[in-house]
Amino acid sequence: SQKIEQNSEALNIQEGKTATLTCNYTNYSPAYLQWYRQDPGRGPVFLLLIRENEKEKRKERLKVTFDTTLKQSLFHITASQPADSATYLCALDGNGSSNTGKLIFGQGTTLQVKP
Amino acid sequence: GAVVSQHPSRVICKSGTSVKIECRSLDFQATTMFWYRQFPKQSLMLMATSNEGSKATYEQGVEKDKFLINHASLTLSTLTVTSAHPEDSSFYICSAYSGTISYEQYFGPGTRLTVT
């Protein structure tokens, strides 16, 4: 069955360091993968979308890579700040390569950036 | 990004009553809205897809008679939890989506439902 896995253990890092979060998937051939940020008691906020033909995408301090051979995406936050502390979710379209908008989410990784 | 609102943000109801949650896309016309549910320490689970002017489609295991969805316009979808039970207590989140513009989704702030 289709599965998306993120490291469920919280990631604690020091301010200024680079945070790297991992998203692995099985039994999918996604056309794109998305990353969202979720703060406690709030809905997710869209961060980045990367397509299957893109190896890397950047937005300010954020960088996402997408390896369709390894079936893995890495999400990096450089020069991390305490305000980056949140849960980060990766998501795929549940219908794989087609675009239905029906997202399947990983369980999320909670990032804690310490000053 | 687009703005999506939800109302109410928090509701407490008694077992057996019904609760309506509104989801509004404030600055773009969403061809599709999705409803998700999130239990504590868990990820979002898709419940149903709501398309304007047509019946909602539900994910496996979600009772359509219990979770009534109405998508009256391109900017408004409502979820009614009927005959609520304590196990329906959860965080309900909607999202607005326009696959013709982009693939990202814009989520509402969520509604915390507590059934006593």
pLDDT in tens, A38-63: 999 999 999 999 998 898 999 999 99
What mean pLDDT is predicted for residues B14-29? 93
DSSP letters for B41-96: TS--EEEEEEETTS--EE-TT--TTTEEEEEEETTEEEEEE-S--GGG-EEEEEEE
Give the mutation candidate from A46, A93, A99, A100 for the B interface (greatest B CB count, under 10 A). Answer: A46
Q: What are phi and psi of A103, to 5 degrees?
A: -80, 140
- With tokens 């809905």, the residue in question is A43
Cβ within 8 Å, pair B34-A103: yes
Exposed / middle / buried, residue A95 (Cβ in 10 Å: 0-12, 13-18, 19+): middle
Which chain B residue has the Cα nearest residue A103? B46
A90 has a pLDDT exceeding 80: yes
What mean pLDDT is predicted for residues A14-27? 95
Which chain A residue has the Cα nearest residue B10? A41
Restricting to B residues 96-115, those with a Cβ less than 8 Å away from any Cβ of A are 97, 99, 102-110, 112
Residues of B in contact with A10 (CB under 8 A): none
Q: Which pLDDT belongs to residue B112?
A: 97
